[in-house]
Structure 1
């Protein structure tokens, strides 16, 4: 299913979306082109234009595949049910929209292909640098055309990117009391298109995600696992794109680092 030709076609579509629908709006958004979807969650004209382009192009590429786009789901939550029905593109037209709307990096485009929740392919484009990551189930992970193996930071105190934004006070206190002593905590980039590559490239060792919506995570989970790292639910079960109501996900640059972190998480409940 995930052939070199398909990888190349998806990359071309994503770069077209970046060049035609996203970058022309970067650092030039009018106030009327930014809307609030929820507290601390915005959508811009670039999100809408990019999703329309991606939906059209990906649908033409694989007519048998449905499309689940972040903005389409915002307008109609029932679109999510397509993830359970069969072959499906999953689209995040602008990942890191808050950064994009503020006129700063990082932000990117994320696309995944799944079949009844199983992730078959994943593609991540950094719009500003042009860095392109892709992976196919069972065929490895690649960055800018070169096969990649995830590497750790090599630090004696592993580096963990953990957001406490969506945690309640009790959960935040657990992080500070039980996890912080074992790791050097760093802030998250608020952009999965950047956070997953950091686990491959020796920038971070651990990332913890509380919200695990498929357009943010399907591609990154496949990329990390195919590169020899590990992304899974805290109980060790696999991440599936159709289990979008579940929360919590751990990503690590090596399986051993994942195991060590998961043991701590299990102890604190």
Structure 2
């Protein structure tokens, strides 16, 4: 299934969605083009138009596959159930929407293909730079057509991008007291389409995610693991696209960095 022709077709579809639905709206949104989905979470007309385009084109590419899109799930959460029993495209039409709505980078498009929760392929487009990452299960990871192997920052202490946005005060205090002394904490980009590549190209060593919805993570987890880094649940179990009720995920530029961080997390609970 994961053929060069399929990879090329998915890339073409994603770039067209970016060029036609997203980039023309960048730094040109009217207030009426932005809606609030939740506290500190917005959706724009670009999200909706891009998802419609991606859904139509990906459905034509593989008619046997359903589409699970972020905005479709926001409208009807039962769409998520498709992940449990069938072949599915998983679509984040505009990852980093809050950045996009504020007129700043990073933001991108994420697409994955999963069969009953097992991630088969992942594609990540940075809309502004055009950087294109892809991976397929057992087939390695690639950036702009060149095979890539994950590398660490080489810094000591290692660099950790940890989001505390959705954590309660007790969890934030645990990070400050037990994790911060062993790592240099850096800002998160609020964009998985940027955060996962950072773990591969030597910008960050560790990333921690509390919410692990499939459109944010399916493509990035596969990309990082196929590049030789490691993304997994804190107990070491693999990330699956159909386990969307679970929280917490650790990504690292190398298995050794992952092991060291997971040991600290296990100690502090």
The number of equivalent residue pairs is 269
The structural deviation recorded for 1:7 is 0.5
The structural deviation recorded for 1:240 is 0.1
| 1:259 aligned counterpart, secondary structure | helix
| 1:28 aligned counterpart, secondary structure | coil
Q: How does 1:68-107 map to 2 (within 5 A)?
A: 68-107=68-107
Deviations 1:139-191 (A, max 9, x none): 00000000000000000210000011111000000000000000000010000
Q: Structure 1: which 5+ residue stretches go unaligned?
A: none
**Distance in 1 of aligned mates of 2:24 and 2:202:** 32
1:209 matched to 2:209? The reply is: yes
**Residue in 1 aligned with 2:194?**
194
Deviations 1:207-252 (A, max 9, x none): 0000000000000000000000000000000000000000000000
| 2:223 aligned counterpart, secondary structure | helix
Over aligned residues, Cα RMSD in angstroms? 0.3
The structural deviation recorded for 1:85 is 1.6
Deviations 1:41-63 (A, max 9, x none): 00000000000000000000000
**Distance in 1 of aligned mates of 2:228 and 2:244:** 24
| 1:57 aligned counterpart, secondary structure | helix
**Residue in 1 aligned with 2:27?**
27
| 1:164 aligned counterpart, secondary structure | coil
**Distance in 1 of aligned mates of 2:47 and 2:131:** 19
| 2:17 aligned counterpart, secondary structure | helix
| 1:149 aligned counterpart, secondary structure | coil
**Distance in 1 of aligned mates of 2:187 and 2:243:** 27
**Residue in 2 aligned with 1:249?**
249
**Distance in 1 of aligned mates of 2:3 and 2:206:** 30
**Distance in 1 of aligned mates of 2:115 and 2:164:** 32
**Residue in 1 aligned with 2:231?**
231
**Distance in 2 of aligned mates of 1:247 and 1:49:** 29
List structure 1 segments (4+ residues) > 2 angstroms apart after TM superposition.
none
**Residue in 2 aligned with 1:184?**
184
**Residue in 2 aligned with 1:266?**
266
| 2:157 aligned counterpart, secondary structure | coil
**Residue in 1 aligned with 2:3?**
3
Tell me the TM-score normalised to structure 1 length.
1.00
| 1:221 aligned counterpart, secondary structure | helix
